[in-house]
């Protein structure tokens, strides 16, 4: 056991670099990137609290950090954050940077019903990790094409489900979103939800490859030709939910399980029960994450409102998940100090 007087001064940012170097051979690139992202939040907090030496950090300090993050994120994200912090602090103890036993003071939140995910937000780094995995290993599959469209456009699940082949314009690089209540594809805001949505060249290339190689050539019961199909016809909302739960499980896209489960013990490994994984998320989390990402990139809120068919008040009340620090930093960019 290290005597507190024998600790060596350790700057938080230097400690994170040492930790990442120590684990780079045992963790995948995606997992290491995820750890770095979570620890960056801890470094930001250390900056706010003027903590420049981890020797002086106590269990009470780490509890205050937990409360700080709890005000900003949901329980699933908070659990992942605290689990990573515990491993990091354990490493710091091993290099005489923290008092012994400090890692044991870190308590992660317990998770309730995994289906209760109304406030989940898919972070950009997780979305990019999912897309990177599918780009490499399952390129062009229907769930790949659908996920990229949902993430880039931020449209609702029902809007994407209702797109027909004739609504997709690859040369002009956009899709039409249309209200068709009489043929089972209504929009939430009816005619007011109709719009044309611009797409990137990369997304259009993926959609083109999906259509050419993997799309089931099927019509629905109304003789329409859906863009997203299964062998039975137009994809159902339930199928989209199941796909989303599956592909947002960390183990699906090459990351370590943040819940210390093994494939043999995890009920969420069953594709039909993927929602049992505490880290899996429902389709609406993609929309939440996309809107938050647009705002983080300082895209005008009016543009976000029109593109995603969501009111300004609704964005502010339900979709803007940026922390007060993130909002301040974006405002700072527009001020001439």
What confidence tier does 132 reach under pLDDT thresholds 50, 70, 90? very high
Whether the predicted model's global pTM rises above the 0.75 cut = no
Question: Is the pLDDT score of 109 beyond 80?
Answer: no
Mean pLDDT score of the chain: 87
- Name the band, by pLDDT with cuts 50, 70 and 90, for residue 190: confident
| pLDDT value for 322 | 65
Query: Phi/psi zone of residue 154: left (φ > 0), alpha (ψ -120 to 50 degrees), beta?
Result: left
Model confidence at 23: pLDDT above 70: yes
Q: How confident is the model at residue 113 (pLDDT cuts 50, 70, 90)?
A: very low
Query: Of the given ranges (130-134, 253-257, 304-308, 314-318), which has the lowest mean pLDDT?
Result: 314-318
Res. 270: pLDDT tops 60: yes
Write down the CATH number for the domain with range 4-105: 1.10.150.130
CATH architecture of 124-276: Orthogonal Bundle (1.10)
Give percent of the chain above pLDDT 90: 55
The whole-number pLDDT of residue 268 equals 86
pLDDT reported for residue 98: 94
Q: Above 60 in pLDDT, residue 111?
A: no
pLDDT at 255 over 90: no
Query: Quick check: helix, strand or coil at residue 175?
Result: strand
Q: Which residue has the higher pLDDT, 17 or 100?
A: 17
Specify the pLDDT at position 118. 39
For 25-63, write each residue's pLDDT tens digit. 877 777 788 889 899 999 999 999 999 999 999 999 999
Average the pLDDT over 309-331 and give the result.
72
Confidence of residue 234 (pLDDT cuts 50, 70, 90): very high
- In this predicted structure, the answer to whether residue 317 has a pLDDT above a threshold of 90 is no
| pLDDT tens per residue, range 56-98 | 999 999 999 999 998 888 777 888 889 899 999 999 999 999 9
Rounded mean pLDDT, 217-228: 97
Q: What is the mean pLDDT of residues 212-229?
A: 97
The tokens describing 197, both together, are: 């949505």
Name the pLDDT band for 320 (thresholds 50, 70, 90): low
Structure confidence at residue 171 as a pLDDT band (50, 70, 90) = very high
71 or 209: whose pLDDT is higher?
209
Domain residue ranges of the chain, discontinuous segments joined by + = 4-105, 124-276
């Amino acid at each position: 056991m290290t005597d507190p007087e024998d600790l060596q001064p350790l700057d938080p940012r230097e400690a994170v670099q040492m930790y990442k170097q120590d684990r780079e051979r045992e963790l995948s690139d995606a997992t290491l990137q995820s750890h770095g992202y979570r620890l960056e939040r801890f470094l930001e907090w250390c900056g706010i609290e003027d903590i420049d030496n981890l020797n002086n950090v106590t269990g009470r300090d780490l509890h205050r950090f937990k409360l700080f993050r709890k005000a900003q994120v949901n329980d699933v994200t908070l659990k992942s954050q605290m689990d990573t912090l515990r491993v990091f602090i354990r490493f710091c103890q091993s290099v005489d940077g923290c008092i012994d036993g400090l890692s044991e003071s870190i308590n992660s939140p317990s998770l309730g019903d995994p289906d209760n995910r109304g406030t989940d937000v898919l972070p950009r780094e997780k979305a990019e990790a999912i897309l990177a995995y599918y780009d490499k290993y399952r390129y062009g599959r229907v769930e790949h094409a659908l996920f990229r469209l949902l993430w880039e456009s931020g449209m609702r699940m029902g809007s994407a489900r209702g797109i027909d082949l004739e609504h997709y314009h690859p040369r002009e690089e956009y899709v039409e979103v249309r209200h068709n209540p009489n043929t089972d594809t209504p929009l939430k805001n009816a005619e007011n939800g109709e719009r044309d949505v611009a797409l990137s060249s990369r997304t259009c290339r993926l959609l083109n490859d999906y259509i050419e190689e993997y799309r089931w050539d099927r019509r629905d019961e109304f003789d329409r030709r859906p863009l997203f199909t299964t062998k039975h016809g137009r994809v159902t909302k339930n199928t989209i939910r199941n796909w989303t739960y599956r592909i947002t499980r960390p183990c699906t896209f090459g990351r370590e399980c943040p819940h210390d489960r093994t494939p043999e013990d995890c009920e969420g490994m069953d594709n039909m029960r993927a929602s049992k994984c505490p880290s899996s998320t429902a389709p609406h989390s993609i929309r939440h994450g996309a809107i938050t990402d647009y705002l983080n990139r300082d895209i005008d809120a009016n543009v976000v409102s029109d593109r995603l068919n969501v009111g300004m008040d609704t964005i502010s009340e339900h979709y803007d998940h940026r922390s007060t620090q993130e909002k301040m930093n974006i405002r700072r960019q527009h001020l001439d100090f």
